Structure 1
């Protein structure tokens, strides 16, 4: 079939079964009406939450209402994603968004009212056996209490909210709408307009001239706007410092880590451990230079293919079988749940007309998870399958072990299960590969994940830390200063075998994540935690698997750092990063062997 099929033309066994969530539209409409009437009951609790039995009843209603709205929202939006052009589901999606916002507004008094109670009262609630189910919620509220302001101040902070999103909005408009890139020559010598999407394609070109021209054109464009972009980034930093000071945090970094209750040592540990591992990164750069056969390795050579594209034609059926085989170390129970997902309508497999692009795992508590794919018969799609099923099984185990409130895990933990599955798949593929070309392709695929997810994201995290600290000390950061900090970090991270081109000093100006401050470190910690888990599972077997399944079952029932620690990965020490680095080192050794 050469055309993209319509939704109606895709086979039933390749479609997810949303009937498991709602049998039909009438069932959705009924739950919508129920949620609307539940919402009306919420207001009756306002002003009464100092009484333990009232608080319990309020929390129970909040759970029931929130779950109903989550189910309505997830179903409506997944229906919309099946075919985004279908007006009926566009309308349903809008309807679900509205009720979600209304529910948030109806419940908005609960947290402030609980926080206005005395410390003694909160302590008594935490110890009350009748409220045992809500202990973690209450402990979390007590922890936040120190940073909640008076009623009037909170009202003022809420109004500031609209202004505070300005730096991010301005950057987004500038970066996505107003920036105009020049034309550059592609591999066929044709003039093509450079864009964000095409930039990586150009950098992956085998033709070095194409790579260099795209790289120079990209940073020239940003360089012309350096004063505006520096002002925008500085405004974002100033906003973070304003919030940190207003809410009585020692620094912007500590404020951002406080939400997940992550000690600052986790952040600084990551940077220190990666600094100690930089010789490995430098060794990989040396190998890259050798494999590309260049006299000098430049920044625009980082994405150039090291081996000819190795075509691995993998059907969906083969992908499922290989993924299952690779996850055998996780034991029979895990494999049985995985098979259930494969067989029983969890996955929407192929692209169809109007279907949302990309891939995700989603769902609502009380029903099995769902996975959206747009499967192509290649290696990337097989990794996507195992990645998304990692998320799905994490949700499955959490939902089946925890109550509704404690089942939701944090973003800090979210990428661990998915990345662990990828690590086990990679280990399996490398173990059975006999073709040196295939092996080299897999090794470079994996080594580049370490480079981009651990080293690069840590470098970003370090840049954010420096920029905020300097501003907190009263320094003003000019475009020249921002560029110098960024350039020096590149020199440090890439080492003497890399010619750090002057152009790269403007890269800070095009990273959208810098407007979601102190977020990127989670990519590096998540990847390191997953790699540490996979190493323990492959070396220790059953005891490590039991610890890992305990992690999957914990959901959000404790603070993220404690959940990982109980499972044998202590992110407040350098050990998980060191374990991940030992895996990276073995990849480099294998690549060096193949190039001899």
Structure 2
């Protein structure tokens, strides 16, 4: 069907049920009015938080308000995402956004006032039975205390906030709005303007000349702006160093990991362990060269399809059934919760006119989670379904077993549940496959996930570490220095079977994640933790399943690293990454056997 349906024309059976949050607009408006009146009463607690009973009452009111605002905000935005051109939904979303800002202002006195208590008084609060429910919150406040400044200094840093967002904003405008790329030839020989979106499509082309031209054109364009882009990235690094020094951290890396209470070993172990296993990546590159049948493997060949056209049409109903089968190792309770999601309006399935693109899992505490999809009948969409249901069931178990405040889990943990589901689905599909072509298609799909999510993101993480450490030691990084660091990393990561084209030295200039510093490592650790869980579940059975479900039920009730450790995945050691690498090695072996059998 070439014409997209309007929202009102879509089948209700494939739409989520937002009425499970609010039955009507009238009900939303009533809750909004209630929140507005309650918000004004928060000020009653100001200046009284040294009294445990007043602090308890303040926290309870804070939870009540936060939960109401979350419900209003989530509903308004999901309504907006159904049809983003609909004016009523746009204004509802904006109204909810403003309310969320107002809540932040109303609650802004709480943390500074608690932190103004003496250490002894704060310790007494933490040990108080009256505040037992809020112990983790208070412990976290105390942990942060060493890095919270005086009231006037905090006010000054808040004012710097608008300035500090400048490097990222400038890069965003340059990268998304001002940068224009020349035209390149597509597979049909037509001249087409190169864009960010089309770039990956060109790199996935079967026509090598299309890939090569797109690659060189992309980096040639960035190369012409190398001085501006280097100044922008350096400004971001300088900003990070300013905040680390102002808040008394030993380094930018230390500051970035402190929020989630992640030990530095998690970061350094990831890089060291991946370095140890780079021969596996080199072996995969050797195999890719052989499968593509080329004399030289170039950087623009990394996304080229390794299997001749292989079509795997999978309808939504088929995808649901396959996903359900693949998740049976997680036990009856998990599968029943998944089925509940299928049957009871958790999922908004198909694209419609004006609907938000992409996919996500969201929701508010107290109602079931929701999943937005734009389902197509293919393998990718089936993986998206299991990925997003992994997030949804994490929230389902977390909300069902934790109080509101402790149910929110960190991003460090979030990708574990979604990626585990993908790993179980892949294991199931490979186990069922009897067709060599299909099996090779699946193996290359999975191996490329390891390449892009573990190796590539670790290389990014290492680049960030080197750049920050050199700047912290007083070096000034020129565009040439940034390019050399980046080029040398590519040579190291891809090995002797890869011709590392000089153009790749400019890739650092187009990675937006570098403006959200020391974040990308979470993709690699999340993937590794999930692969480790998957291996344990498939090899040990029930004891590993029980540990994993315990992980899902823990929400954010403890620090992320502790929650994973209790469940049997200790990210402060190399072991989970080693386990992930053993899975990657097994994939390569299977691909080599299929290749040699030809």
TM category, shorter: over 0.9
Instruction: Tell me the CA shift for residue 2 of structure 1.
Output: 3.8
- Aligned partner of residue 192 in structure 2, secondary structure: strand
Instruction: Tell me the CA shift for residue 430 of structure 1.
Output: 0.3
Which residue does the alignment assign to 2:194? Answer: 194
Instruction: Tell me the CA shift for residue 84 of structure 1.
Output: 0.9
1:17-62 alpha-carbon deviations (Å, 9 max, x no partner): 1111011111111110110011011011111111100000000000
Which residue does the alignment assign to 1:329? Answer: 329
Which residue does the alignment assign to 1:272? Answer: 272
Query: Distance in 2 between the 1:510 and 1:355 partners?
Result: 28
Which residue does the alignment assign to 1:571? Answer: 571
Alignment of 1:310-325 (within 5 A): 310-325=310-325
Alignment of 1:337-416 (within 5 A): 337-416=337-416
Q: 1:406, 1:557 within 8 Å by CA — same for their partners in 2?
A: yes
Alignment of 1:155-554 (within 5 A): 155-554=155-554
Query: Distance in 1 between the 2:30 and 2:211 partners?
Result: 57
Which residue does the alignment assign to 1:113? Answer: 113
Query: Distance in 2 between the 1:261 and 1:248 partners?
Result: 16
Q: 1:257, 1:264 within 8 Å by CA — same for their partners in 2?
A: yes
- Aligned partner of residue 371 in structure 2, secondary structure: strand
Query: Distance in 2 between the 1:376 and 1:369 partners?
Result: 22
Alignment of 1:84-95 (within 5 A): 84-95=84-95
Aligned residue pair count = 596
Query: Distance in 2 between the 1:317 and 1:32 partners?
Result: 38
Query: Distance in 2 between the 1:534 and 1:310 partners?
Result: 27
Query: Distance in 2 between the 1:221 and 1:335 partners?
Result: 50
Query: Distance in 2 between the 1:334 and 1:561 partners?
Result: 24
1:270-302 alpha-carbon deviations (Å, 9 max, x no partner): 000000010000000000000000001000000
Query: Distance in 2 between the 1:94 and 1:404 partners?
Result: 25
- Aligned partner of residue 40 in structure 2, secondary structure: helix
Query: Distance in 2 between the 1:43 and 1:309 partners?
Result: 64
Instruction: Tell me the CA shift for residue 108 of structure 1.
Output: 0.5
Query: Distance in 1 between the 2:6 and 2:459 partners?
Result: 44
- Aligned partner of residue 463 in structure 1, secondary structure: helix
- Aligned partner of residue 188 in structure 1, secondary structure: coil
1:201-248 alpha-carbon deviations (Å, 9 max, x no partner): 111111111111111101110101111100100000000000000000
Query: Distance in 1 between the 2:258 and 2:349 partners?
Result: 38
- Aligned partner of residue 496 in structure 2, secondary structure: coil
Give the CA RMSD over aligned residues: 0.6
Name whichever of 138-147 and 346-355 sits farther off.
346-355
Q: TM-score if structure 1 supplies the norm length?
A: 1.00
Instruction: Tell me the CA shift for residue 189 of structure 1.
Output: 1.2
Instruction: Tell me the CA shift for residue 6 of structure 1.
Output: 1.2
- Aligned partner of residue 167 in structure 1, secondary structure: helix
Instruction: Tell me the CA shift for residue 186 of structure 1.
Output: 1.0
Query: Distance in 2 between the 1:214 and 1:314 partners?
Result: 31
Query: Distance in 2 between the 1:2 and 1:272 partners?
Result: 50
Query: Distance in 2 between the 1:333 and 1:411 partners?
Result: 25
Instruction: Tell me the CA shift for residue 308 of structure 1.
Output: 1.6
- Aligned partner of residue 277 in structure 2, secondary structure: helix
Which residue does the alignment assign to 1:126? Answer: 126
Q: 1:297, 1:499 within 8 Å by CA — same for their partners in 2?
A: yes
Instruction: Tell me the CA shift for residue 4 of structure 1.
Output: 0.9
Query: Distance in 2 between the 1:306 and 1:551 partners?
Result: 37
Query: Distance in 2 between the 1:170 and 1:10 partners?
Result: 40
1:514-559 alpha-carbon deviations (Å, 9 max, x no partner): 0000000000000000000000000000000000000000000000
Structure 1 stretches of 4+ with a deviation exceeding 6 A read none
Instruction: Tell me the CA shift for residue 309 of structure 1.
Output: 2.9
Query: Distance in 1 between the 2:374 and 2:197 partners?
Result: 19
Query: Distance in 1 between the 2:392 and 2:527 partners?
Result: 17
Query: Distance in 2 between the 1:95 and 1:496 partners?
Result: 57
Instruction: Tell me the CA shift for residue 389 of structure 1.
Output: 0.3
1:66-97 alpha-carbon deviations (Å, 9 max, x no partner): 00000000000111111111111111111000
Q: 1:309, 1:441 within 8 Å by CA — same for their partners in 2?
A: no
Instruction: Tell me the CA shift for residue 9 of structure 1.
Output: 1.4
Instruction: Tell me the CA shift for residue 565 of structure 1.
Output: 0.2
Query: Distance in 1 between the 2:212 and 2:332 partners?
Result: 51
Query: Distance in 2 between the 1:176 and 1:234 partners?
Result: 19
Structure 2 gaps, min length 5 = none
Query: Distance in 1 between the 2:456 and 2:47 partners?
Result: 50
Query: Distance in 1 between the 2:309 and 2:377 partners?
Result: 15
